[in-house]
Amino acid sequence: MNSANPIIDVVIPAYNEEESVPLVVKDIPGNVRNIVVVNNNSSDNTSANAKEAGAIVIDQPLQGYGNACLKGIEYVNSLAQHPDIIVFLDADYSDHPDELNKVVSPILNDQVDMVIGSRALGAREKGSMMPQQRFGNWLATGMIKLFYGHRFTDLGPFRALKFDKLLELKMQDKTYGWTVEMQVKAVKLKFNCAEVAVNYRQRIGVSKITGTIKGTVLAGWKIITTILKYTLKKV
């Protein structure tokens, strides 16, 4: 990897985020090669608005956060030249895309394999994280510490990895367990993991997960069972 001029690609899963996704795309720093928005069966103008903002848009009709991320990885892996670093962030504009270089910095400067942008360490706008999100993060990160011996502070969606390391993870989860699967597998494979503080604001629109009781329950159950599953399952 050329740390002075790394190739960075960004994957943004998006489901009905027509208002926010162009803001996300436009705020991403100019040193990124490809901004890949994965249109996850949206029924609004997410795809058209992302394209107009300058993103590459690919479609994943199978709904699910993990499904969208896997489709994005598939696309990036099909490119003639792979990136050095891949970054994931959400399409709802709750993350601050202009902090991307801060998130990738430990990979470039400190030989880190994976960086989690931690909302717990950064400044959070009032109301940006619902109580169930804060509790879920506390419980999940505590379970990872208990079962795997590594202390994370967040399961935040804003994250960066060396692309070759991401491929080593052989990601599988198709829905809510995506982020925690990545972190648990990275620890089990003894990746050098780090966190950086990122800021967080209220999203545009209503969350499809924590904005509903069903989504909250399903996400919580999936996260807990994923953590427990990999205590016994070989990576």
Residue 138 belongs to some domain of the structure: yes
Structure confidence at residue 148 (pLDDT): 95
Residue 1 belongs to some domain of the structure: no
- The secondary structure of residue 54, as a DSSP letter, is T
Residue 101 belongs to some domain of the structure: yes
Q: Which CATH number belongs to the domain containing residue 89 in this structure?
A: 3.90.550.10
Structure confidence at residue 210 (pLDDT): 52
Residue 3 belongs to some domain of the structure: no
What tokens appear for 197 in the block?
A: 């503080």
What's the mean pLDDT in 61-80?
A: 97
Q: Which domain holds residue 203?
A: 8-232
Scanning the structure block, which residue is given the tokens 């208002």?
Answer: 19
φ/ψ of residue 124, rounded to 5: -110, 130
Number of domains in the chain: 1
Residue 92 belongs to some domain of the structure: yes
Q: Within 13 Å, how many C-alpha atoms sit on residue 163's CB side?
A: 21
Measure Cα distances from 121 to 18, 36, 118, 179 in Å.
29, 27, 5, 18
Does the pLDDT of residue 2 top 80, yes or no?
Answer: no
Residue 126 belongs to some domain of the structure: yes
Residue 118 belongs to some domain of the structure: yes
Query: Is residue 110 exposed (0-12), middle (13-18) or buried (19+ Cβ within 10 Å)?
Result: exposed
Residue 77 belongs to some domain of the structure: yes
Scanning the structure block, which residue is given the tokens 């590594």?
Answer: 150
- Please, which residues bridge with residue 161 across strands? 86, 114
How many CB atoms are located within 10 Å of the residue 102 CB?
A: 17
Smallest CA-to-CA distance from 75 within 91, 60, 93 is with: 60
What tokens appear for 128 in the block?
A: 């940006």
CA 119 to chain CA mean position, Å:
12
Give CA–CA dist 63/67, Å, rounded.
7
Structure confidence at residue 4 (pLDDT): 77
What tokens appear for 142 in the block?
A: 């505590």
Position 202: which residue type? Q
What's the mean pLDDT in 7-34?
A: 98
Q: In this predicted model, what pLDDT tens digit does every residue of 122-178 receive, in sequence order?
A: 999 988 887 878 888 889 999 999 999 999 999 999 999 999 999 999 999 999 899
